[in-house]
Amino acid sequence: MSKKGFIFNIQRFSLHDGPGIRTTIFFKGCPLKCLWCQNPEGLSISNEIFQYSAKCIGCKSCLESCPEGAISFDGQDVVIDRHICKLCMICADNCPTGALEALGMEMTIKEITDETLKDRVIFEESGGGVTLSGGEPLMQLDFVTELLKTMKELNINTAVETSGFVSMEALKKVSPWTDLFLYDLKLLDPERSKEYTGISSKTIIDNLKYLAQNGSQLIIRMPLVPGITDHRDHLRLMAVTLKEYGINELELIPYHSLGANKYRGLNMEYQLQELEPPSKKQMAVARDIFLSEGISTISEV
């Protein structure tokens, strides 16, 4: 059993990660590389340096403290050579304004539990609980299983948000301790899935079928990304597939680019920078297609 989990955020008072008011724990590491990912800080299983350029005052403390000489100053901004950087985080420790921040922290079960229990009364009054998200939390399977067991022993409602791209054995291992799976379903066609998320959808679909047939509580989440996931044939196939699995509701999440600044902070390219969110009409068309197959939709704003 892993004694510590590697996470990048704990968000209290979450309203969109399951029923009631919840605490969401974001785990680092994800096997997918979705072009529209809004949590790029969760992609790598390693710790990272995040750069807030607007906070930089040009004091050069980071440059002077870096033992590898990986930092320079171009006259306007700090430049980090991430090929040389060894992620010692000395620069972040020495930055007086927080312009450089270490992303990723190890936490024990007890540390996470202590943080979570601060809101136990709120969970009880709102019907909320704890949601494990990411990244892909099931990449840290042993730790996540032990954390879920601990939460259930404390009578706290548990949810796991998953990409579905995990082994079926992983789902079997966590299912007894999971009250709800928030299942991210993007594209059904294996080749289109590989093009836009980096992996085939076959395992994801097989795992969804397993969970549905074994009585797991599920909320399906699908991003509506213009030009990628909003094709009518794809939406109809999605609706028919869900109906076949006995699922009659879908959370339809409109694409947005609010996470683009995160990519800049990690020196990553955001490929959909120019893409506009779906219009009200596009959302309505998608909802009507699902409804025509008996699938009701909830839209996250």
Give dist(CA 136, CA 143) in Å, integer.
13
48-103 classified as CATH 3.30.70.20: yes
**Cβ(49)–Cβ(92) below 8 Å:** yes
Task: Output the six-digit token pair for 144.
Answer: 């996540």
> What's the pLDDT score for residue 279?
95
Q: How confident is the model at residue 299 (pLDDT cuts 50, 70, 90)?
A: confident
Quick check: 1 pLDDT over 50? no
Quick check: 245 pLDDT over 70? yes
Q: Shortest CA distance to 45 belongs to which of 90, 1, 106?
A: 106
> What's the pLDDT score for residue 49?
94
Read off the pLDDT of each residue in 6-20 and give the average, rounded to a whole number: 95
Pairing of the two strands 249-254 and 296-299: parallel
pLDDT, tens only, 43-78: 999 999 999 989 999 999 999 999 999 999 888 888
DSSP tag of 288: H
Domain boundaries in the chain? 4-45+106-299, 48-103
- State the CATH architecture for 4-45+106-299: Alpha-Beta Barrel (3.20)
HSE-CB of 135 using CA atoms within 13 angstroms: 29
Least confident of 132-141, 227-236, 257-266: 257-266
> What's the pLDDT score for residue 298?
87
Q: For residue 46, with 0-12 CB atoms within 10 Å meaning exposed, 13-18 middle and 19 or more buried, which class applies?
A: exposed
- Percent of the chain's residues with pLDDT above 90: 91
